[in-house]
Amino acid sequence: MTSTASRKSYGVKGAPYAHPSPTTTLKRARSAPYIFLLPASVLFLLFFALPIGYAVWLSFRKAHVSGLGLGAGARKEVWAGFGNYTEAFHDSELLHGALRVLGYGCIVVPVMLGLALLFALMLDTERVRLAPFTRLAIFLPYAIPGVVAALMWGFLYLPDVSPFYYVLDKLNLPQPNLLDGGPLYLAISNIAVWGGTGFNMIVIYTSLRSIPAEVYEAAKLDGATPLQIALKIKIPMVAPSLVLTFFFSIIATLQVFNEPTTLKPLTNSLNTSWSPLMKVYQDAFHRGDIYSAAAEATLIALATLVLSFAFLRAANSRNKQEEAR
Amino acid sequence: MSSLALGTAEPAAGTTPGTAQRPPLRRRIALIPTATLLLGAIYTLLPVAWVVIASTKSGHELFSTFTFLPGTGFTGNIKDLNAYRDGIYWQWMANSALYAGLGALLSTAVSAFSGYALATYRFRGSETLFNVLLAGVLMPPVILAIPQYLLMAKANLTDSYLSVLLPQILSPYGVYLSRIYTAAAVPADVVEAGRMDGASEWRIFTRIALPMMIPGMVTVFLFQFVAVWNNFLLPYIMLSDDERFPLTLGLYTLLEQGSNTPALYTLVITGAFLAVLPLILLFLVIQRFWSLDLLSGAVKS
């Protein structure tokens, strides 16, 4: 519609000049995409490529202190080879941080995606009530900053102000300390699950809704129960979006920082290097050793990339196997 | 679309008496799914409800009355918050609005340009460029933020508004959403027709493609707005002067001080309540104008 309208107006206006020759159009069209992509490319170079390159460069450097370390020229940057990397590999704090995050991820990812899938399937059920309200409510935490979420839950974990402890107290039940030891993992995981379930639910629900209704008709005529339809038809058909949400959840888990950092003022059991990224921050800004921090950061980035590619390859080859079948 | 229509038609047919052919014992409401979803909603709304109620309590009531019983100190808390460091809380909120509003606007423009270029032109290196831009998603923010800080320091830009604004303009996810949305919403022959009529590439983009891309761009804007509003790490690393703090960082510093002085708890809680309020309102208002489906990259053909 718009095209014919605009064609007419251009036709009248441009009549004396006739149409531009096809070759100039082609030339213009050839340079246009690069111009459109210029802002993104410049920003990418300045704020992604350059910092990454700089971090890698720093990871191979170290500070050399001559004499007593006094005066302007006493601290010099020198080549360190793989020194910072071997140090990082032997750093037990970093290793413990990685193990903690692994434990945390083993709780967060299955619980969050399990709940997201469950809610998405329930939303997709016939004759379900209050679906728009509950969908919005479950999605709501997406709009709440991680810091505020950690802060709200943090208060709910504090015995003095928490309704949970009030109930436990009235029922004379034991009151576990949620901000220490094993329960601390659950406490931090809960914040991540609370914040992330809604977004993943929407992703899965969207792909559930894109399944044409005819697919279910045959199964329904055969007397399949809603549960059977969910397990045998719906879940296999949304497998690609499950893979996607799994992938993004793993990446988010590796990068956990905000929640434990925000909970830290409320408990003594969270040290400053609880997660690997907190350790990187600690080394860079509190210990002032940007070289070690750069090496650790590079290692974490490499681990993320390797995991991502391994995962995507595995997902791809499975897809191909299924296509071949 | 069709499944949505089906979903609303079903219960309506079920409620009309006489049309039901199944035994009357059969429930009209799917009980288990509804109950499960309600439990989920209670779980997600619980901390929000707590913060709303706790913000009405005075410091004394917070520790003495049952947590879900409203208190009487709401106006007092607001007054305290206004008085705290000459109302710096409102400065934080204005800063957050600036970072998120301006940042998301610029980000949407960059995403629109890039998405349009990647979706409508065939050119050498387009796939490579797209993949390189997307790889940015995989980079942990801390790993970027520390060298970004060091480089900003070299340019004398740390502790400035720009240091928080600039690194967040390019959003790999925004470019991705913009590309797939444009590919679905802007037909190639419309662009070609504009070209045949002698319109410049810029004119084709602004007059023909952009109006078709608007719904997708609203989604990109909101996505980025929420991402910047919620960002904690970058301002945490870049800023030291609390006049430039966004809300997230301001509340965090407030909580950090509050751990020693429980009197500040009520300030933190009231601050948290007022911090989530604008985003919740934004969501409720804007819900009609954007599609959550788009957020997950699904485009109706």
Q: Give the Cα separation of A277 and A284 in Å (integer).
A: 11
Residue A1 domain-assigned (yes or no):
no
Please indicate, yes or no, whether residues A75 and A206 belong to a single structural domain of this protein: no
- Least confident residue range of A28-37, B4-13, B271-280, B283-292: B4-13
Contact between chains at A257 and B233 (C-beta distance less than 8 A): yes
Q: Give the Cα separation of A196 and A108 in Å (integer).
A: 9
Enumerate the β-bridge partners of residue A62: A78
Nearest to A262 by CA among B244, B160, B258: B258
> Tokens 């191909």 appear where?
A320
A-B Cβ pairs (cutoff 8 Å, strict): 318
Nearest to A39 by CA among B235, B108, B206: B108
> Tokens 């940015």 appear where?
B136
How is residue A86 written in tokens?
A: 């071997």
Q: If you average pLDDT over residues B236-261, what whole number do you get?
A: 89
More reliable by pLDDT, B287 or A61 = A61
Contact between chains at A14 and B255 (C-beta distance less than 8 A): no
Please indicate, yes or no, whether residues A42 and A96 belong to a single structural domain of this protein: no
- Backbone φ and ψ for A75, nearest 5 degrees, come out as -100, 120
Final residue belonging to a domain, choices A43, A58, A81: A81
Task: State yes or no: pLDDT of B4 exceeds 50.
Answer: no
Q: What is the DSSP letter of A99?
A: H
Q: Which of B8, B177, B230, B231 to mutate to test the interface with A (most CBs of A within 10 A)?
A: B230
CB A287 within 8 Å of CB A307: no
Residues in chain A within 8 Å Cβ distance of B279: 143-144
Q: Give the Cα separation of B219 and B231 in Å (integer).
A: 18
Q: Which residues of B75-89 are buried (b: 16+ CB within 10 A; e: fewer)?
A: ebbeebbeeeeeebb
A4's CB contacts (< 8 A; 6+ apart) are none
Which residue in A has a C-alpha nearest to residue B116's C-alpha?
A36
Please indicate, yes or no, whether residues A44 and A64 belong to a single structural domain of this protein: yes
pLDDT of residue B69: 78
Average pLDDT of chain B is 83
Which residue in B has a C-alpha nearest to residue A55's C-alpha?
B147
Domain boundaries, chain B: 82-295
Helix boundaries (H) for chain B: 2-15, 31-54, 59-64, 74-83, 88-120, 126-135, 141-154, 161-165, 172-185, 188-196, 201-203, 210-230, 233-238, 247-258, 265-286, 292-295
Which residue in A has a C-alpha nearest to residue B115's C-alpha?
A37
Task: State yes or no: pLDDT of B292 exceeds 70.
Answer: no
CA distance A194 to chain B (A): 6
pLDDT of residue B111: 96
Final residue belonging to a domain, choices A61, A81, A101: A81
Please indicate, yes or no, whether residues A146 and A286 belong to a single structural domain of this protein: yes
- Least confident residue range of A187-201, A290-304, B21-35, B191-205: B21-35
Taking domain B82-295, whether its CATH number is 1.10.3720.10 is answered by yes
pLDDT of residue A38: 94
Task: State yes or no: pLDDT of B163 exceeds 60.
Answer: yes
How is residue B116 written in tokens?
A: 């349009």
pLDDT of residue A309: 82
More reliable by pLDDT, A220 or B157 = B157
Q: Give the Cα separation of B143 and B50 in Å (integer).
A: 35
Amino acid at B157: L
How is residue B86 written in tokens?
A: 């000459």
Q: If you average pLDDT over residues B160-178, what whole number do you get?
A: 92
Please indicate, yes or no, whether residues A49 and A179 belong to a single structural domain of this protein: no
- Backbone φ and ψ for A250, nearest 5 degrees, come out as -60, -45
Domain limits for position A73? 32-81
CB A59 within 8 Å of CB A294: yes
Residues in chain A within 8 Å Cβ distance of B138: 251, 304-305, 308
pTM of the model: 0.84
Amino acid at A96: H
Tell me the helices (H) and strands (E) count for chain A, helix number first: 17, 2
Residues in chain B within 8 Å Cβ distance of A40: 110-111, 113-114, 133, 170, 175
More reliable by pLDDT, B264 or B22 = B264
Residues in chain B within 8 Å Cβ distance of A147: 230, 232, 248-249, 251-252
User: Number of structural domains, chain A?
Assistant: 2
Please indicate, yes or no, whether residues A37 and A153 belong to a single structural domain of this protein: no
Amino acid at A270: L
Which residue in B has a C-alpha nearest to residue A118's C-alpha?
B36
Please indicate, yes or no, whether residues A74 and A93 belong to a single structural domain of this protein: no
Residue A4 domain-assigned (yes or no):
no
CB B190 within 8 Å of CB A107: no
Name the CA radius of gyration of chain B, rounded.
25
Note the residue count of chain A. Answer: 325
Nearest to B73 by CA among B60, B86, B83: B60
pLDDT of residue A206: 86
Tell me how crowded residue B90 is: count the other CB atoms within 10 A of its CB.
Answer: 12
How is residue A305 written in tokens?
A: 């990339």
Q: Give the Cα separation of A26 and A42 in Å (integer).
A: 25
How is residue B10 written in tokens?
A: 């079903």
pLDDT tens by residue, B62-85: 877 777 778 888 888 889 888 888
pLDDT tens by residue, B38-55: 999 999 999 999 999 988
Please indicate, yes or no, whether residues A40 and A129 belong to a single structural domain of this protein: no
Task: State yes or no: pLDDT of B293 exceeds 80.
Answer: no
Please indicate, yes or no, whether residues A171 and A155 belong to a single structural domain of this protein: yes
pLDDT tens by residue, B231-243: 999 999 999 998 9
Please indicate, yes or no, whether residues A293 and A177 belong to a single structural domain of this protein: yes
pLDDT tens by residue, A1-44: 344 444 333 333 334 444 555 555 556 667 889 999 999 999 99
Final residue belonging to a domain, choices A52, A81, A110: A81
Q: Is A64 helix (H, G, I), strand (E, B) or coil?
A: strand
Residues in chain B within 8 Å Cβ distance of A122: 32-34, 36-37
pLDDT of residue B13: 39
Instruction: Kindly provide the residue ranges of all beta strands, DSSP E only, lying in A57-203, ordered along the sequence.
Output: 61-65, 75-79
Tell me how crowded residue B264 is: count the other CB atoms within 10 A of its CB.
Answer: 19
pLDDT of residue A13: 39
How is residue A281 written in tokens?
A: 């921050």
Q: Which residues of chain A have pLDDT under 70?
A: 1-29, 67-74, 319-320, 322-325
- Backbone φ and ψ for B67, nearest 5 degrees, come out as -60, -30
How is residue B115 written in tokens?
A: 């998405």
